[in-house]
């Protein structure tokens, strides 16, 4: 069954930033349209030559195509911020152009949000894959560890356990692994446009602390690992450190230095028994 929006309201808005990966973009879109829910898809093309336009427009009215008038050269936070204000559904999924949505996941997500109004962020298990024959043992181990830590954090409530993990341990998720309420995105003014790397960690750390999260212990994302994968790249350590310092500054301002210290002590204490 292919679900799309005609005269009926979308249940999930899917924002896909893309740059020069048309064949992978097509796979991502097809995985969304295979879901058994009403979706709207917003593709934001960050390439100056508009490389995604033929693919996006081949799906007709099922995909809204947006060309970035000022291509960023790889600044995901700014590209996503061009897409989410156009969303009309109550839920938003920020899907990267090389990832795939598991069949049936959107239906489960919608049911979960409906039954748990105190949840602002929903995320699940990331399953890495490689279509290029890459060895992915490291990535498999990383995401298995993330799932174990998410299960443990969920026992500490909707906010602080997950926040502790996001701030002081390797991240629990990648951007495409989470679905959020649109009202949450609007309240946070979307992604911080000053953040270039680990912008998803910065965004979801704010979202989880303010609105609460739930870990859904099932596959939420098929995450592609390949030569162009960010996990295979060499991001600037200085830029990543700058992002985390910004995260700490915001937390102290919005909550308190005392609470941030408490999370750090808790992370160290629980880490000894992990």
Mean pLDDT in consecutive groups of 10 residues from the start of the chain, 274 residues: 62 97 97 97 97 97 97 95 98 98 98 97 97 86 96 95 96 97 98 96 98 98 78 68 97 98 92 56
> What does DSSP say about strands 39-45 and 121-129: parallel, antiparallel, or unpaired?
unpaired
Q: Quick one: pLDDT at residue 272? A: 54
DSSP state of 58: T
3-state SS, 165-184, equals HHHHCCCCCCHHHEEEEHHH
What secondary structure does DSSP assign to 81-108, as a single string? Answer: HHHGGG--SSEEEE--TT-BPPTTHHHH
Pick the CATH number of 12-271 from 3.90.550.10, 3.30.300.130, 3.40.50.150, 3.30.70.20: 3.90.550.10
Rounded distance between C-alpha atoms, residue 63 and residue 40, angstroms: 7
Which tokens hold the place of 71? 């291509």
Rounded distance between C-alpha atoms, residue 42 and residue 182, angstroms: 14
Rounded distance between C-alpha atoms, residue 206 and residue 188, angstroms: 8
Phi, psi of 9 (to 5 degrees): -75, 140
Q: Quick one: pLDDT at residue 161? A: 95
Phi, psi of 135 (to 5 degrees): -80, 130
Rounded distance between C-alpha atoms, residue 42 and residue 66, angstroms: 7
Rounded distance between C-alpha atoms, residue 17 and residue 12, angstroms: 16
Q: Quick one: pLDDT at residue 231? A: 44
Q: Quick one: pLDDT at residue 131? A: 79
Q: Are 75 and 41 in contact (CB under 8 A)?
A: no
Chain centroid, CA 115 distance in Å: 22
Q: Quick one: pLDDT at residue 6? A: 53
For 267, the 3-state DSSP assignment is helix
Rounded distance between C-alpha atoms, residue 179 and residue 36, angstroms: 16
Rounded distance between C-alpha atoms, residue 82 and residue 145, angstroms: 33
Predicted structure pTM score: 0.93
Distances in Å between the alpha carbon of 141 and those of 106, 145, 146? 25, 6, 9
Q: Quick one: pLDDT at residue 5? A: 54
* Closest CA relative to residue 232, chosen from 100, 97, 142: 142
């Amino acid at each position: 069954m292919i679900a799309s929006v005609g005269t009926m309201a979308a249940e999930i808005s899917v924002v896909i930033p893309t740059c020069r990966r048309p064949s992978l973009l097509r796979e991502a879109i097809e995985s969304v349209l295979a879901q058994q829910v009403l979706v709207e898809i917003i593709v934001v093309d960050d390439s100056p030559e508009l490389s995604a336009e033929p693919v996006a427009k081949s799906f007709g009215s099922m995909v809204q195509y947006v060309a970035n008038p000022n291509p960023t050269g790889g600044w995901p936070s700014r590209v996503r911020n061009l897409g989410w204000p156009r969303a009309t559904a109550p839920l938003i999924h920020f899907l990267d152009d090389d990832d795939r949505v598991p069949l049936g996941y959107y239906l489960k997500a919608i049911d979960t949000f409906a039954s748990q109004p105190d949840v602002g962020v929903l995320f699940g298990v990331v399953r890495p894959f490689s279509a290029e024959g890459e060895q992915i043992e490291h990535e498999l181990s990383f995401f298995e560890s993330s799932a174990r830590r998410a299960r443990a954090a969920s026992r500490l409530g909707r906010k602080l356990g997950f926040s502790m993990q996001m701030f002081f341990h390797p991240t629990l998720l990648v951007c495409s692994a989470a679905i959020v309420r649109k009202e949450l995105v609007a309240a946070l003014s979307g992604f911080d446009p000053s953040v270039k790397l680990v912008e998803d960690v910065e965004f979801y750390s704010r979202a989880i602390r303010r609105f609460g999260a739930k870990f859904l212990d099932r596959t939420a994302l098929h995450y592609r690992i390949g030569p162009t994968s960010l996990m295979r790249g060499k991001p600037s350590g200085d830029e990543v450190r700058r992002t985390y310092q910004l995260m700490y500054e915001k937390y102290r301002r919005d909550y308190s230095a005392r609470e941030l210290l408490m999370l750090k002590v808790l992370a160290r204490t629980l880490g000894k028994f992990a």
